Structure formats: C-alpha cells, structure tokens
Amino acid sequence: MPFPQEHSCRLKSPSVFDPDSFRRMKRMHEGKGYSVIMGKLKGEDTMTDQACRYDRDTWTAEQAGKHCQMHKGHFEAAAPKEARHYPMMERKTVFEFKQIADRVVTGYPSVFGNVDDGGDLVLPGAYTKTLQERGSRVRFFWQHDHAQPPIAKVLEMAEIGRDALPPEVLARAPGATGALRVKREYLATPRGEEVLTGIREGAIEELSIGYDPIQARKPTTEESKGELPPRRVLQEIRLWELSDVNWGMNAAAVTVKSFLADLQSKDQPTQAKAIAEWLESQIHMNFTVATDEMFGNGYLTREERIALSGLIGTALDAFHTAMQAENDLEGVRVRERGQKPGEMLPPMNMPMNEIRLRRLAILAKQLEMLR
C-alpha cells in the first residue's frame, strides 16, 4: 500500500530484519534530504539499509524513482492526493486486569462480548488480522508519547476464549466471550522503571490502546437487548500501540489488585469522573483528533505529528498541576460532569448502574432544554 506523504524505495524485505532494531536517519542527495530505514539483519550485529523514504513535497515521483533505481530498490510512489484515505486512529481505555510477575505484566485490555464504557462491543476475531500482519510492530508507550522510546517490550499478544479468562475478568464481565491477552516486559530504563513501580504500587491503573476501526457496524436487535446496548460493533481492529496512562478517555481501567480490594470492601466508594479529569481527557482527545486529521490531509509531516504527540503529554501535566493548585477550581475538582454548582453529590456507595442512570437523566434534561 502506498504511503500517503512519502515515496518509498524498498531495498530489502523487513521480514529478514530483527523487528526491534529499526532506526530512521536522515541523508542528503544533491541538496535534498531523504530518510533511510535501517536495521539489523537477523543473526547480525551491524546495521543495514532496509528502505528509503522521500517526502513528496520535496521529491517528485520521477526524482525519487531515479534515486531508488541507483540503489537497485523496488520503488512505489506516494498515494495520489485525491485517493488518500485515512481511518481516524482512535484511543480507548478499557478495563484491564493485570497479573504481575517480576518485570512481566500480563493484561487483558480488550474484552469480547462486553459493552465497554465507550459504547463499543468488540467481537472475537477482531484482532486476528492485525496480529498476523503487524503484531511484531505494536509498541508499548507511556501516555501515547510516540516521540519517546517504548517503555516495555510486547512479548506476546493473542486472542483467547472464555475458558482461558481469569476469574477476575469474568467477575467484572460475566458475559465475556474472550479477550485480547497482552504480555509485556518493562525495560530497565528510567521511564520503564518508573512506570513499573507505579503499577506495582497501584498508582498507575489505566491502559489505553491506539487503533483503527477497520470494520464496524450497527448492533443487531439481539445485540441491543442488554441493559447497556452498544452504539457500534467492532468486527476488525488495526492495533497500533498500547500505552499506560494516568487518565484514559473512557472510565478507568483497573488492575486485579484494585478490583479485589473493591470486592473485599463493600463500603468502598464508587468514584464518578470529576469535571477536571473529564476536561483533561477532552483536551487530549480533541488535540489527537485534530493532529491526526491535519496529518491525514497533508498539512503536517510525519515528524511534526510525532513531535506534537509528545508535546500534548507535557501540556497536560502542566494543566493538571495548575488545576490542583488553583483554589477557585476546588468545585471543578470534585463535581462530576453534568452536575451544577450547589447540586448534591450522589451517595458515595451508589451502584454504578444507578450512577449511569442518573447521568442519563441529566443528559435528557439538557437535551430537553435545547428543543
């Protein structure tokens, strides 16, 4: 498939390289820059050129083709602008149940047959194709920061059936028909150590996935009979990356440790998402959607998009710090979304279903006011 913004020259098949060894560097030819993808051939220690990339705004297809021919590569011009189509990459935070053994963490970031808090129902087999085609290229980041090295190495990803699900998953999602199981090993880097410590201590409890919804449809009548009917059914997903995050865009993903603590304490308060936290997630989501769209329409280069992705994490850290320090925003930190100043909070032990019904009632009132 042609690249949207770059002409491509394949020198060697990526399958003969160690998938974790690829690096991208800049070179010059007759005053114009181009990128070289380098990696280590399997069983070797030295770096070898795998492909060249030429920015379409700098290189014409003819110029790039001639350069590629000089290197005896296979050339492919960038996709025509009128033919370019970009599925919008989405991000989803789902319930994740972690099992920790030394530096290896096994989790279940996507449960099948269960409507998640984003309103999606994922079907078994949704990840089959992406695991076959690009499973070795899925990366694990902190806060979706693609500009920084990964914090963990993905050791294993596989779809499993209901019989292989841990009891903790079935307790949270009784109707689950299976899940995506991900095993990752945290790297011995400063950020890897920092995040792993946070997970062990229960300070980091959320996981977010970056994906394209390749095939999605409306739910059938049968699928819509449940208490929380899905808004769409995901049949095929292209998985790009996974990230540990402070806050996700949907309700928090929880660990086995925190889930068991809830079961052991019946009086444990149910926390609704506060306005401050919701605002942070909206800033993150809208910024991501905007930069993805600009990149897709050719207004941002790949490097600019990656750099902007790193900046939003820094900006949100500053926003969060200021939000916690500002005395005038105390109400914003504690009121849940949809609750006006002065309105009573729901009882702290209110079941989640009742909280959801309360939110729906608030939304219905707001919609009525708009008529």
Find how far residue 216's CA is from the centre of its chain: 18
CB 334 within 8 A of CB 346: no
**Is the per-residue pLDDT at 3 higher than 70?**
no
Higher-confidence residue: 231 or 41? 41
**Is the per-residue pLDDT at 260 higher than 50?**
no
CB within 8 Å of 340: residues ≥ 6 apart: none
CB 216 within 8 A of CB 233: yes
* 121-176 per-position pLDDT tens digit: 899 999 999 999 888 889 999 988 877 889 999 999 999 999 998 888 888 788 88
Residue 123: predicted pLDDT: 94
CB 187 within 8 A of CB 150: yes
**Is the per-residue pLDDT at 8 higher than 60?**
yes
Report the alpha-carbon distance of residue 259 to residue 107 in Å, rounded.
13
Token digits of residue 353:
């279903």
**Is the per-residue pLDDT at 355 higher than 60?**
no
Pairing state between β 232-245 and 120-122: parallel
Widest CA span of the chain, in angstroms? 73
Q: Is 265 exposed, middle or buried (0-12, 13-18, 19+ CB in 10 A)?
A: exposed
Report the alpha-carbon distance of residue 340 to residue 331 in Å, rounded.
10
CB 267 within 8 A of CB 226: no
Q: Which residue has the tokens 């729906």?
A: 360
CB 51 within 8 A of CB 37: yes
Residue 65: predicted pLDDT: 93
Residue 215: predicted pLDDT: 87
Confidence band for 253, pLDDT divided at 50, 70 and 90: very low
Find how far residue 172's CA is from the centre of its chain: 22
Across the chain, what does the average pLDDT equal?
Answer: 77
CB 72 within 8 A of CB 92: no
